[in-house]
Structure 1
C-alpha cells in the first residue's frame, strides 16, 4: 500500500516548528502617504484557519476525491482554502482565468467539478451555465454573495478552532487538476498526486538551498503552496497574475523592500519589465538571495539586467526548466549563462537549461509524432544530436484527467515506471547539460531539412532593434517556406517604407551569415507577438501562421 501522505501535512509541520512566523502577507491597501498596508497570517493562524475551513467543507458534503474548482484571487483566503481543500481530501481544480470565458467553461465542464469555491462573478457564471456543470452542488462564495447561495467563507469558518484530524491521503491519491497553458493546443487538465507535490517541494528546497524563515514573492500563485510547505513566508504581489508582462515595477520593488524579500519567482516577461525599470532608475534589490524564472527561456538581456540589481555576489537568477506535467527537470544559473553558454546561444546553439535535478533522468530520443508503446521502441540519440526530450522522476505526472489518448501520446511505459514526453526538442552536450531548441510542434520542415525555432530566432534577436522573433512555416510539410516574424523594440517599429526595407535587408544579412538561417528569405514585422496567458512569454506560433499567409498573399 502507498505511503500515507497529505501535502497539507507540510503546512502543519511548519506551524509546529515556526508557529509565530508570518506565513502569508497580503497588500491590503495604502495609507494616506501611499505606503502599503499589509494583513497577514502566521503559520499557526494559517494552519488553524485552514482546519476550520476544512471542517466546514466536510460538513458541506466534501468527501475524499470530491472535485472542487477553486476560483479565488490571490489572497490570504486563497492560500487558506487551498490547504483546507487538501485537508478535506478534495481534488482541487485550478485554471487560468486569463484563457477566456469559452475556454474556461469548456475546460471546467470537461473535468466535471462537484462544486465551486469561487468569487461571486464565477458563481453567477456557474449558475448561468448550470447545464455545463450538472454535478456542481457543493458551492461556496468567497466574497459578498450576490444571487448565489448563502454558503460563504464565514459560514465555512464556523466556530472556534478545534484540532482537525486531516483526511489521510496516499502518495498516489489525486490532489489537484491543473490546466496546461495551452501554448501548443487546447489546455489539458494535468492530474497531480499528493506525492508529486511532496517531491516538488523537496527538489526545489534542496537544490536551491531554500531555508526556513526566508521571504518569497511568487508571481505565480501556486508557488505559495511550496512556500508554506518549506517554512517560507509568502508575500502576495500586487499584480494581476494573468498579465505578468504588464506588472508595475514600482509596486513589486516596494513590496520587495517593505518585506525584505529574499526570493522572488516570475516569468521572463515579468523580469524583463522590472529589469528595464531598475536599469533606467538605477535600482538595487539588496535583500534578494535568488530569483527564479520559468515558463520559457529567459533572454540573456533579462538575465544581465536583473543581475545588475543584486548587491551580493552570491545572488543570482535561476531558470528551472520543466512544464505543468513535469516540474522541475533541470536548472541553470544566470552566472553560468553569461559566462559559459550565452555566446553559443547567440550563434544558434539553442538555450542551455542546465543539469537535471538530482533523481531526475533525461533522455534524448528520435523525434516521433505518434504514441510510443514502450521505452524499448524509442531510439536514444547520441550526445549533440537534436531529438525529443523525455524525462522520468518523482515530480512527473502520470496522466491527463479523462484524456486517455493525450496520456497515451505523452507517456512512454517503462516497466512499472514511465517517461514523460516534454513536447520539446533539444540535445545533451558533452558535459551532460541539456539544451532546448524549441517545441516539437513548431519545427519548420523545409526541402532543405528541419529548422528549430529557438536556434534560428536567436540569430535575428541579435539585431539591436529587435525585441523578439518567431519562426513559422508557411505551406505543407515537408515543403514549408520559413518565415521570420519579428517584433521590434518599443519605439523601433519601421513606420516608413524606406525604414522597413532597410531593416529587412539588415535582418536578412544577419540570417545569411549563419548556415541555420540562410534559407530564410522573408521577414515580417509584428507590433506585438501573441503570447500564452500564463507567463505572457511563450509565443503562439499557431496564431501567426495564418497571419503570415495573409501578409505574404
Structure 2
C-alpha cells in the first residue's frame, strides 16, 4: 500500500473519472448545485498541485489553509497532501490573531488564502514572515500520469484542531498511517456504502468518502456561522437530491427534528443516519427513529484523534437516562482501559458502577504518547451488555452523591422545554444551569422533581440562563469553564 493516504483517493478518482463524487450547494437561490466527477476533481487537484510546486512547497512542509469552506479549499487540501506536504486547518472561527498563533505554533511559513483577503491582513502576514498565496483558478491541460509523493507512513498527513470545549483548541496531528486506518474503521463501522449518496454535515468526511468512492452532497449551510442553520433548506435538499445517508451533531439533528415535527415530510430514500460530536440524548434518537421511519439510526462516538471509538445502532433499549449516555460497544480493533476515578449509582436495583477516564490504543488512534495510549477526557463504564456508557467529561468530572454530571444532564434533557443543561459539581451536590428552549418556560420545581430519580440530595441550586456557552464547531458541547 502506498504510504501517502492521498494515493488511496487518487486511485478511486482515477478508477471513476465519470462518476459524480461531489455535489456542492448552489451559490445563489435558483441555481443548480455544482457537480464534480472523479476526473474533474483530479484536474482541479492537479491545478493546485502545479501552483504549489511552482511556489516551492516541499514534502513535509506545513501549509496553513486560511480559506473559508468551499470546493476550492477541499481541492487545495488534497493538492497539498498529494505533494507530501502537510495541510493545516485552523480552529473553527479563528480570528486573524488566532491564525497567526497557529502559524507560529506549527512553524508555518506558507498560507493559502482567499483572493480577496484585505490588504492589512496581507501586510501583517508578510511582516511576520508568512508567505501568502491564492490559487488563480486556472485549470491545466490534462497532466501525464502522476502519483502521490511518497512519504513516511508516520509523517503527519493533516493537522486539524479540537473543538475547544474544555480549553483552547489544540492541534491534532494525524499521520498518513492513521488516516488510512480511520478510513478503514469508518468503512466497517457505519454506512454509506459505495454507490450511496451521503450528506455529511462536516466536509472533513469528504476524505473518507472520496477514498471509498461514495458521492458526497454538501448541506446548504453557512459554514462560518452554524447557528444560522435553516432546516427547511436542508430538508429540501434531502428530498430533492435523493440523500440516502446523513451524519451530523446534536444541534443539527435537533433542529431537523423540530422542523420535521412541525412540517411532516416523507424522506423514504434515507436509509441510515448517524449522530455524534457530543453526548447524544436518547430522547433525540427516539424522535429521529420515528421521523426517519425507513432509516437505521446510529450513535457514533469518537474524537478527531480516534474516529470512531464506539458505534451503537438504535435497535435495543439503552437503559435509563440516569445511567449516562450509552454509546455502544468499543470497536474490537481498539485496546482500551479505564483509569479509575470512583463509583457511581446507575439505577435502582443495579450495583454501583466503577467509572474511569477512557483510554484507547490502536491503528486508527492519533497520539503523541510514546506508549500509544490516548486519554480521551471522557469518563464512563461498561454496562452488563459490554456497552460503553459516558458519565462525565474532563474538567467537570468530580463525583458528588455517587453521580457524575452527564447523568443529571441526560435526565434533564428529557424534560419538556429544556434546550441545554449543564451540571457543575458543588460542595456536596451539583449546581444545575438550564437553558430553556425558545418560548418555553421551565419551572425550578420541575427540574428538582426530575432529579428526584437519584438517591440523595444531588441538586444544590438551579439557575436559568438565556444561553449556555457551547463550542463554536458543534454548538453541542458545553464549555463548562465558561458557565456562570
Same fold (TM over 0.5): yes
Secondary structure of the residue aligned to 2:25 is: strand
CA shift in 2, pair 1:82/1:173, >3 Å: same
Contact 2:367/2:373 (<8 A) preserved: no
Q: Distance in 1 between matches of 2:160 and 2:16?
A: 29
Tell whether 2:133 aligns with 1:140.
yes
Aligned residues: 476
Which residue in 2 is equivalent to 1:9? 7
> What is the Cα deviation at residue 122 of structure 1?
5.1
Secondary structure of the residue aligned to 1:509 is: helix
Q: Structure 1 or 2: larger helix share?
A: 1
Secondary structure of the residue aligned to 1:228 is: helix
Contact 1:11/1:47 (<8 A) preserved: no
Correspondence for 1:210 among 176, 184, 192: 192
Q: 5+ unaligned residues in a row in structure 1: which ranges?
A: 142-151, 369-381, 400-410, 495-502, 548-553
Q: Distance in 2 between matches of 1:453 and 1:100?
A: 32
> What is the Cα deviation at residue 106 of structure 1?
2.5
> What is the Cα deviation at residue 39 of structure 1?
1.5
Which residue in 2 is equivalent to 1:331? 311
Which residue in 2 is equivalent to 1:154? 137
Which residue in 2 is equivalent to 1:406? none
Contact 2:191/2:245 (<8 A) preserved: no
Tell whether 2:466 aligns with 1:527.
yes
Q: Distance in 2 between matches of 1:71 and 1:319?
A: 32
Secondary structure of the residue aligned to 2:317 is: helix
Contact 1:293/1:318 (<8 A) preserved: yes
Correspondence for 2:446 among 486, 506, 511: 506
> What is the Cα deviation at residue 201 of structure 1?
1.1
Q: 5+ unaligned residues in a row in structure 2: which ranges?
A: 343-350
Tell whether 2:48 aligns with 1:53.
yes
Which residue in 2 is equivalent to 1:431? 385
Higher mean Cα deviation, 418-427 or 303-312?
A: 303-312
Contact 1:219/1:244 (<8 A) preserved: no
Which residue in 2 is equivalent to 1:201? 183
Q: Distance in 1 between matches of 2:62 and 2:232?
A: 39
Correspondence for 2:71 among 56, 73, 76: 76
> What is the Cα deviation at residue 441 of structure 1?
1.2
Which residue in 1 is equivalent to 2:338? 364
Correspondence for 1:456 among 408, 413, 422: 408
TM-score scaled by length of structure 1: 0.81
CA shift in 2, pair 1:300/1:385, >3 Å: same
> What is the Cα deviation at residue 243 of structure 1?
3.8
Tell whether 2:463 aligns with 1:487.
no
CA shift in 2, pair 1:223/1:132, >3 Å: farther
Which residue in 1 is equivalent to 2:425? 473
Higher mean Cα deviation, 454-463 or 198-207?
A: 454-463
Which residue in 2 is equivalent to 1:377? none
Secondary structure of the residue aligned to 1:211 is: coil
> What is the Cα deviation at residue 92 of structure 1?
0.6
TM-score scaled by length of structure 2: 0.91
> What is the Cα deviation at residue 367 of structure 1?
3.8
Higher mean Cα deviation, 75-84 or 530-539?
A: 75-84
Higher mean Cα deviation, 293-302 or 181-190?
A: 293-302
Contact 2:86/2:157 (<8 A) preserved: yes
Which residue in 1 is equivalent to 2:174? 192
Q: Distance in 1 between matches of 2:124 and 2:404?
A: 42
1:312-327 alignment runs, 5 A limit: 312=294, 315-327=295-307
Which residue in 1 is equivalent to 2:345? none
Contact 1:428/1:435 (<8 A) preserved: yes
Measured against aligned partners, the alpha-carbon deviations of 1:390-421 in whole angstroms (never above 9, x if no partner) come to 1111111122xxxxxxxxxxx4x54xxx2110
Which residue in 1 is equivalent to 2:277? 295
Secondary structure of the residue aligned to 2:202 is: coil
Q: Distance in 2 between matches of 1:230 and 1:14?
A: 7
Higher mean Cα deviation, 4-13 or 225-234?
A: 4-13
Which residue in 2 is equivalent to 1:551? none
Measured against aligned partners, the alpha-carbon deviations of 1:472-518 in whole angstroms (never above 9, x if no partner) come to 135xxxx4662100111221246xxxxxxxx21232233234126x2
Q: Distance in 2 between matches of 1:162 and 1:72?
A: 29
Secondary structure of the residue aligned to 1:536 is: coil
Secondary structure of the residue aligned to 1:28 is: coil
CA shift in 2, pair 1:434/1:331, >3 Å: same
Secondary structure of the residue aligned to 1:386 is: strand
> What is the Cα deviation at residue 35 of structure 1?
4.1
Contact 1:5/1:168 (<8 A) preserved: yes
> What is the Cα deviation at residue 77 of structure 1?
1.3
Q: Distance in 2 between matches of 1:179 and 1:257?
A: 33
Contact 2:340/2:354 (<8 A) preserved: no
Q: Distance in 1 between matches of 2:272 and 2:226?
A: 19
Q: Distance in 2 between matches of 1:175 and 1:126?
A: 27
> What is the Cα deviation at residue 128 of structure 1?
4.1
Q: Distance in 1 between matches of 2:301 and 2:293?
A: 26
1:89-488 alignment runs, 5 A limit: 89-120=84-115, 124=119, 126-130=121-125, 133-134=128-129, 136-137=130-131, 139-141=132-134, 152-154=135-137, 157-312=139-294, 315-333=295-313, 335-336=314-315, 339-341=316-318, 343-345=319-321, 348-367=322-341, 384-399=353-368, 411=369, 413-414=370-371, 418-444=372-398, 451-474=403-426, 479=427, 482-488=430-436
CA shift in 2, pair 1:459/1:27, >3 Å: closer
